[in-house]
Amino acid sequence: MSEWWRGAVIYQIYPRSFRDTNGNGIGDLPGIASRLDYVASLGVDGIWLSPFFTSPMKDFGYDIADYRDVDPRFGTLADFDALLAKAHRLGLKVIIDQVYSHSSNRHPWFEESRQDRTNPKADWYVWVDPKPDGGPPNNWLAVFGGPAWDWEPRRHQYYLHNFLKEQPDLNLHNPQVQQAVLDVAAFWLDRGVDGFRLDVANFFMHDPQLRDNPPRPHPAPDKPSYLQRQIYNRTRPETLAFVPKLRALLDRYGECMAVAEIAAEDQLATMVAYTDGPERYHTAYSFVFLGNEFGARFIRDSVERMRAMSDSAWPSWAFSNHDVVRVATRWGRSAADPGAFAKLMLALLTSLRGTVFLYQGEELGLPHAEVPFDRLQDPEGKTFWPRHKGRDGARTPMPWLADAPHAGFSSSEPWLPIDPRHPPLAVDAQEADPDSVLAFARHFLAWRNRQAALIGGDIRFLDTAEPVLAFVRGEAEAATLCVFNLGDADVRAELPAADSATPLAGHGLPGAFEGRVARLPAYGAAFARLVGGGDGAS
């Protein structure tokens, strides 16, 4: 059975912001289909589609009212089938978001469940009696602010919502609910998708005893939930008992895979727990590289720690996505040459051992967009402004045409504004520039696709001082030495593994070896074959 996902590069598409074809200012499935040739030209292996299902859009698709249909804003099921067929013709795998932790409060399951305590779906959500004083059953806090409990007068009970009150948590302790979500998964697998990205995969179950979360000291929290150790409302051992059921379903469809999104107190250990073994998910990614901490030592320690915990757990890595500040700004805010920094991040991300998730616009080096308060759409941003401005800055429309209205995304005003720094970085402008970030992304991924060690090889780090990061991918004839300068000044680094290095040309980043010494300009990188194997030049 092919494990196509090992070492694959998967391009994340946020449908609402990719391409609008009907002029309503919101991206749609036909818009994605119209740009799949562009995606394929990057040299990626597949796409991940963020939610496009029927939804009231309180959390922009992560509040699902019908798991088996397309929201009219995005198109129809026929549009999805056409997109899927075109992607497969182009050799692209397609994975889609699945949100099993919670639904919309407009979902028929919840509409029935909330009516009384005796209906057939009465136990499909997490319902709890109030305390004697009328308050919620415990101290759990929602990610988006306030208590994680809301009152339902028809049942005289509270229901759990780890996110918005419009996103009630499903009760996956109930075997009927487990079967219902497995049926949803089978619906999309039967349509031909190649796998799932499982939203907040470690939030599926809660502590049945409803114990209070203990405090977690935090000097300056952006959100009140950061003041708790969330050990009873997420990452419960009960969740792991459900994982083999979903894995068994996926295995019946051959080459299909699942990547779990992990947000946990110990992110790397939780990634391992959810992926270590044939009954776990195929891979997982966390927010370990989606935060503000950056540096050669930090990257090395993170990768080595997970690697040391398991030989079989396969990681996934991302530097940007729809929930966080774009890497060009988050890690590259002070970069003297933003374009060079963006190229380096692309090369580094796709050289690490694991599956890669590349967010739309990363191949253009887009900085995080500034969205004024009066244009904010994200409920998280509206609640926590100005200390935490939410996620809208990562979700602004994709710039296609530098000189067209709305950067060629739509014929009308988009749902989020175009940052004025983005049109000059549009696809058409970069395609005309052989030195652009886009040109580099295509060139580097084409080169990477010829380097077996960078796709499936193991990883071994070398001792280097900041800001140099060096590691070896693969073994023997396939071993490849990778060296990166994460700093904004030239560096000279001695590398004990470089005695028999043959420089690999064709990767497109400046850098050179002189015996055991790597000479790298600011944001440069160098690659070499350690034992034979030719130079891999393009």
Measure the CA–CA gap between 536 and 502, rounded to whole angstroms. 10
Contact (Cβ atoms closer than 8 angstroms) between residue 429 and residue 402: yes
Catalytic residue, candidates 97, 199, 362, 392: 199
Measure the CA–CA gap between 481 and 471, rounded to whole angstroms. 6
Give the distance from CA 494 to its chain's centroid. Answer: 35
Catalytic residue, candidates 20, 97, 261, 392: 261
Measure the CA–CA gap between 206 and 242, rounded to whole angstroms. 13
3-state percent breakdown (helix, strand, coil) of the chain, nearest 5? 30, 20, 50
C-alpha distance from residue 484 to each of 263, 352, 521 (Å): 28, 12, 10
Alpha-helix residue ranges (DSSP H) falling in 124-236: 175-191
Measure the CA–CA gap between 38 and 214, rounded to whole angstroms. 49
Measure the CA–CA gap between 10 and 43, rounded to whole angstroms. 10
Contact (Cβ atoms closer than 8 angstroms) between residue 20 and residue 31: yes
Contact (Cβ atoms closer than 8 angstroms) between residue 362 and residue 326: yes
Give the distance from CA 55 to its chain's centroid. Answer: 21
User: Is 199 tagged catalytic?
Assistant: yes
Measure the CA–CA gap between 481 and 493, rounded to whole angstroms. 13
User: Is 261 tagged catalytic?
Assistant: yes
Catalytic positions, please? 199, 261
